[in-house]
Structure 1
């Protein structure tokens, strides 16, 4: 019996597998496709943008350099710190791209990254482009090094669970585990088999992405182009995305044909362009659905299996990676039987509100993009707001993921946020200290008053003393394995408060 079976070998499932493997869990990943790679995951159709929160996840596990190399990117957003860790690290400067809301681009010059909450320079850029193939290849190789087994061509068709574990069935084969996590996408089999409710709003549009040849491409503009009948996006010579407000009427059980794509493109663009050939194409909708809880017994969901929405703004991959980062250490502690009471339940409690907010963010963009006078009126108001400094800052915090703050019941404004990348005088960053998946207690106080309490939990906490380049007025911080601040102490930190926070998130002292 494995500790955990993960269904789905996409980026979310593989990231979660790596987190569990890092913690010493026995993990089996089942993927229904016969091989992990797909032309839809490679560039250009597989292009995605990683938010600050996702980039931090790769950085804190020592994968950022490899991700940059695999992605072949030289475009990053925001100043970074630390030689050779990411593109542009030696020459911090103005960002080149700031993202968009409903096709309205942010002005990078109006994004002041130093005004972000508790921001410190970091080797991790605030945004960077990648592609699904690069992410999956990197994570699959890491998972293998950590002892994770991935089996392809295994389609789960049945599932039973009791108080002791879960059994997944695929044909005549059975796979038993103490826990099972569905990371099998928007059409999740696990979600249905385990009886999760899935509710939300239906589609207003059908979207298409395609790579092909356009005979008279000069008739189409580059970038986001709103029209009276929808919107299209042209990137490069042969890449087109289209949003057709048909109420989601296209039958997505069949691939779109060249003739259908040409008809949609002509209608939306108002041109007579000809698609000479279509090499790759896929479709999507803006259905926005979510399960009410990410756990049912010993079955959990992460990524698109737990929530779906339109891909506008590139939030799906980032939301799923956040799920995996949050769940991994909590499930590992539960497997090891050293988790404090209720720890695993905090996964859904923390991530469900984040998912709900992203769904609303997606719905708002669709409302603004909708053709007609109402959509145009909304777009005018939003465009004016985005044109202001405060409006740009608001949209950017949402796109970057820096708005996320979990409610941990601690009033300190840093508690529940991603930890700033404190830099010790010896050159190490706190991101470097999180690589082994343990919590970190960083003590800047002159008398190192947390040492006794931290050393009592040395198997779960890496205790490190300062000083640091900029302590932001703090005396100490306790950082969870996922990089979230569990507790922050002032100049003279209170050891009793530290112990309470450590007990809550990491369990009692070692015996």
Structure 2
């Protein structure tokens, strides 16, 4: 007998989200992290894309954001520092929720504790042995070396994933010749401008966000609640950087002057922190050849790394977690349809590839040179076209990849729209328990699905929704053709409940 059903290496947002998904499905994982406690380092500043709606489907959007209403799509987003206008766009999939990564981790830790998840800090994976019946994981910990036998091991341990390396999964890709620097800084209050920008003496107004210049790019983000973030991107400067030495503010000063052409007035951040101060010399864009190798699976940055421009990282990783959680739980419990766990790779690998495509394109469009400047001018014209804006919204939100569901209804394979039932309930509210949901149809008491007999306002006659919120089957025909095949492919067997 294994010591534990599932071990998750990595207690960042993605690993904790997966732990919560497994726990909702009745599987209590053990989460390990080599750090002594949650990292206070401010990395991501928010969530963008469809994952915001998926948090709503778990009842976490209001809890994490403090909002009383359902999430609303944003009126605009950025692509390589250029505005993508989205106001009035029908079925706009682009959502945003500002939340610092340490806060997100804290909230997910609270949620995982409520669900009975065992999180062990100061435990690092050192070796693994993947066998036909499970994975033996050798760990170092506060009390020395220990061994855990698990049915499955998930590597959610970041871009330098130990689990990925020990499993021998190739991680091909590209390293760009760029150097990025970012830090929290203090700036004179009189130089702050409305909208989160900065008035730089000798240069002029530096707007909120990314600004491309002749010698690189500069990022300024003043969220109005503390120290703003200042960053630079330089191209072709990687050989001149000693990346073994940590970034310093004088180095950032020099970089900002090279990019902007004038001194940027800033000093050390105020307060105790934690404060960002990091350099990335050579941006990696890489993806694991496979997300599953036997009983070892990869999640988040362990499976894919890319530029942070546009903020796609947590959207991609947290959606990985919601895709994998219910499939892995069903497999562990023995009720999974054949091949269900393999669809984690086949569904999520193309999505990761699309994120790498758009993040590399953003980096290319940010590079210096008059030819790139002309291309940006043309691209800016194209973004003003509603058809282009709609295409870009799907790309940035991660909604433009349709899963191969095996059903040809226009909604099948996509995240379910924010729909209401005839009785006024929102579909998202019925997915809090992370169970498959059948709306508008009935089934014999032999499928692992919750049945809601109310109809859908302005939607299809009936719909089968997977726990991750993706439509597995839908029909406009009251005879419900294809329902049994969809149940066999995605649900299999368990207890039926009705609401």
TM-score normalised over the length of structure 1: 0.86
Does structure 1 conserve the Cα–Cα contact (< 8 Å) formed by 2:337 and 2:490?
yes
- Cα pair 2:351 2:398 within 8 Å, conserved: no
The within-5 A match list for 1:136-175 is 136-171=105-140, 172-175=145-148
The range that moved more, 27-36 or 208-217, is: 208-217
Quick one: which of 31, 42, 47 aligns to 1:49? 47
Corresponding residue for residue 6 of structure 2 = 4
Q: Which residue of 1 aligns with 2:228?
A: 238
Aligned pair partner of 1:85 in 62, 69, 72: 69
Gapped runs of 5+ residues in structure 2? 192-198, 270-274
**Larger mean Cα displacement after TM superposition, 303-312 or 384-393:** 384-393
Q: 1:273 to 1:422 in 2, by over 3 A?
A: closer
**What's 1:322 paired with?**
319
Which residue of the partner structure matches residue 480 of structure 1?
Answer: 466
The 3 A distance-change label for structure 1 pair 107 and 262 is same
| Cα shift at 1:430 | 1.2
Return the offset for 1:508: 4.7
**Larger deviation: 383-392 or 212-221?**
212-221
Say how many residue pairs are matched: 466
**Which residue is equivalent to 1:102?**
80
**For residues 161 and 509 of structure 1, what CA distance do their matches in structure 2 show?**
29
Alpha-carbon deviations, 1:42-79, whole Å to 9, x = none?
xxx5412332x11122111111111112xxxx7xxxxx
276, 281, 294: which one pairs with 2:277?
Answer: 281
Helix, strand or coil for the counterpart of 1:256? Answer: coil
1:506 is the counterpart of 2:491: yes
Q: Which moved more, 1:211-220 or 1:238-247?
A: 211-220
SS in 1 for 2:289: coil
**Cα distance in 1 between the residues matched to 2:91 and 2:52:** 19
Q: Please list the CA deviations of residues 353-388 of structure 1 after superposition, one character each: whole Å capped at 9, or x if unmatched.
A: 000010010111111111012322321221111122
Match of 1:270 in 2: 261
Contact in 2 for aligned 1:295/1:348 (Cα 8 Å) = yes
**Paired residue for 1:345?**
342
1:466 corresponds in structure 2 to 454
- Contact 1:68/1:86, CA 8 A, preserved across alignment: no
RMSD: 2.2
Aligned to 1:375: 372
Structure 2 residue matching 1:16: 3-state secondary structure: helix
| Distance in 1 (alpha carbons) for counterparts of 2:207 and 2:443 | 61
**Aligned partners of 2:245, 2:7: CA distance in 1, in Å?**
31
- Where does structure 1 lack aligned partners over 5 or more consecutive residues? 75-83, 90-94, 120-124, 444-449
Q: Is 2:463 the partner of 1:451? A: no
How far did 1:274 drift? 4.8
Q: Tell me if structure 1 keeps the 8 A contact 2:335–2:494.
A: no
Partner of 1:432: 429
Cα distance between partner residues in 2 of 1:245 and 1:15: 35
For 2:412 and 2:238, how far apart are their aligned partners in 1? 41
Provide Cα deviations, 1:435-480, integer angstroms capped at 9, x if missing partner.
Answer: 111101101xxxxxx4244x331xx101111233222xx2111111
Segment of structure 1 superposing worse, 191-200 or 387-396: 387-396
Residue in structure 2 matched with residue 122 of structure 1 by the alignment: none
| Aligned twin of 2:180 | 207
Matching of residue 197 in structure 1 with residue 182 in structure 2: no
Asked whether the 8 Å contact 1:127–1:400 carries over to 2, the reply is: no
Correspondence for 1:218 among 200, 206, 209: 200
Contact in 2 for aligned 1:203/1:248 (Cα 8 Å): no
Aligned residues of 2:178 and 2:237 also touching (Cα < 8 A): yes
Preserved contact between residue 337 and residue 491 of structure 2 (Cα < 8 Å): yes
Tell me the residue number matched to 2:153. Answer: 180
**Contact 1:178 1:298 (C-alpha < 8 Å) held by counterparts:** yes
Distance in 2 separating the partners of 1:431 and 1:509: 22
Distance 1:57 1:115, change over 3 A: closer
For the residues of structure 1 that align with 2:99 and 2:5, how far apart are their CA atoms? 31
Whole-angstrom distance in 1 between the partners of 2:110 and 2:408: 41
TM-aligned CA deviation for residue 238 of structure 1: 3.4
Shift of 1:399: 2.1
Partner of 2:195: none
SS of the aligned residue for 1:367 comes to: helix
SS of 1:319's equivalent? helix
What is the aligned partner in structure 1 of residue 196 from structure 2? none
Q: Give me the whole-angstrom Cα distance separating, in 1, the residues matched to 2:302 and 2:424.
A: 40
Contact 1:157-1:170 at 8 Å conserved across structures: yes
Normalised by the size of structure 2, how large is the TM-score? 0.88
The answer as to whether partners of 2:253 and 2:263 remain within 8 angstroms in 1 is: no
Aligned-partner Cα distance in 1 for 2:54–2:245: 36
Note if 1:132 corresponds to 2:134. Answer: no
Mapping of residues 67-78 of structure 1, within 5 Å: 67-69=64-66
Question: In 2 relative to 1, CA 154–253 (structure 1 residues): closer, same or farther, beyond 3 Å?
Answer: farther
Greater CA drift, 293-302 or 395-404: 395-404
